[in-house]
Amino acid sequence: MDFCGGYLEKNLSKDSKITVMLMGATGVCFYEIFIYVYRGIVLSTNIEIFLFIKILLIEVIFNTLITIIIYQGMQKLGYKIEEIFKNPQILTRYF
């Protein structure tokens, strides 16, 4: 997952809400599919495609709404953290 994040960071804009929402929705889809396959294989549960699609759509919509709500705050926090770690003077104050 870290590889995907690094690839997307280089190729997509972090400032676009639509890009962030699509990345979140894609991540949720991959996660839910993985969990569903895991439960089907390892735990031997019944596979019901209609129920899975219903749950998947609800999860994607819910997480997209949460992304819209917290996007601005997380973006500001991310820029502040990025400033702290990319500041070239951070190591010089200790030496």
Q: Please give the average pLDDT of every successive group of 10 residues along the chain, which has 95 residues.
A: 60 72 87 88 83 91 90 84 72 54
Predicted local confidence at residue 77, as pLDDT: 87
Predicted structure pTM score: 0.64
Predicted local confidence at residue 54, as pLDDT: 93
* Domain positions in the chain: 2-70
Predicted local confidence at residue 88, as pLDDT: 63
Print the SS3 string covering the chain. CHHHHHHHHHHCCCCCHHHHHHHHHHHHHHHHHHHHHHHHHCCCCCCCHHHHHHHHHHHHHHHHHHHHHHHHHHHHHHHHHHHHHHCCCCCHHHC
Predicted local confidence at residue 75, as pLDDT: 81
Predicted local confidence at residue 40, as pLDDT: 84
